[in-house]
Amino acid sequence: MRADPRGEPTRRIAWPQTFAASGQRRAKEQREECGQPALRADDLRFVRETPPGGVLHCFVLDCSGSMLAGQRLALAKGLLIALFDRASAMRAEAALICFGGAGADLRFGPAVPRWWNERWLEPVGGGGGTPFAAGIRHATQLLGRSVRRNPAQQRWLWVLTDGRTTDQATRPLDADEVVFVDFERGAIRLGRCERMASAWGARRVTPEELIG
């Protein structure tokens, strides 16, 4: 993000992506025989600016017994590998907190995951109850330490869960962005992830949306 002479923020246009979007739109319009301008405002694509203090992605993974049904935990672990790869490519820090059974613990980070691969997740098992509050408490403490260490860092909290918990927790104040990745499946759904995301002012996405 940059500022113009009046002090207002501006965004740099990513011209290759913008021209590609314009070309795709115009090709579609030619098929539909409707002429439009060569470049429109909704064709614009912008460069992702890295915050001056960098980015921290804190992942909180539900390893409770309900996540074993339908291979949900296996899907979550596969998704985590992809998300850690993205963090590594962006030179962002990552941390992994797992909760399940009787409590929660920090499994990785915070650090740039330069050597992250499947072997890190192989020992992560599932079973027992869903101590959601303990997982969020660990994340709150980790994000608080991040603020003290690097106030300019942007902090993301990712909660990967099926929402099968009765625990109540408060959104960590130091999380700039919160995303609930909803792994609930089956004909009977409780919709707790959606309600928690709404209560926290967070985003709710499905694994398929992230994979796609």
User: Which tens digit of pLDDT belongs to each residue from 80-136?
Assistant: 888 888 888 888 999 999 998 878 989 888 988 876 655 656 656 566 677 899 999
Q: Is residue 57 over pLDDT 60? A: yes
Q: Is residue 24 over pLDDT 90? A: no
Burial of 116 (0-12, 13-18, 19+ CB in 10 A): buried
Report long-range pairs for 82-86 (Cβ below 8 Å, ≥24 apart): 82/210, 82/211, 83/57, 83/59, 83/158, 83/210, 84/113, 84/116, 85/116
Who has greater pLDDT, 134 or 16? 134
Q: What average pLDDT does this structure show over 177-186?
A: 88
pLDDT of residue 183: 92
At residue 204, what is the residue type? R
Among residues 96, 46, 41, 75, the alpha carbon closest in space to that of 181 is found at 75
Q: What average pLDDT does this structure show over 22-37?
A: 59
Q: Kindly report which listed range (11-15, 20-24, 55-59, 126-130) carries the lowest average pLDDT score.
A: 11-15
| 86-97 burial code (b ≥16 CB/10 A, e <16) | ebbeeebbbbbb
- State how far Cα 96 lies from the chain centre: 12
User: Domain residues of the chain, as ranges?
Assistant: 2-43, 55-211
Q: How many residues does the chain have?
A: 212
pLDDT of residue 4: 36
For the chain, the first-to-last Cα distance in angstroms comes to: 27
Per the structure block, which two tokens stand in for 160?
């990967």
Q: What average pLDDT does this structure show over 165-189?
A: 87
What is the layout of strands, in order, in the sheet containing 203-205?
103-111, 93-100, 55-62, 154-161, 177-182, 203-205
29 band by pLDDT with thresholds 50, 70 and 90:
low
pLDDT of residue 33: 56
Q: What is the pTM of this model?
A: 0.74
Who has greater pLDDT, 188 or 120? 188
In this structure, the strands spanning 177-182 and 203-205 are parallel
Class of domain 55-211: alpha beta
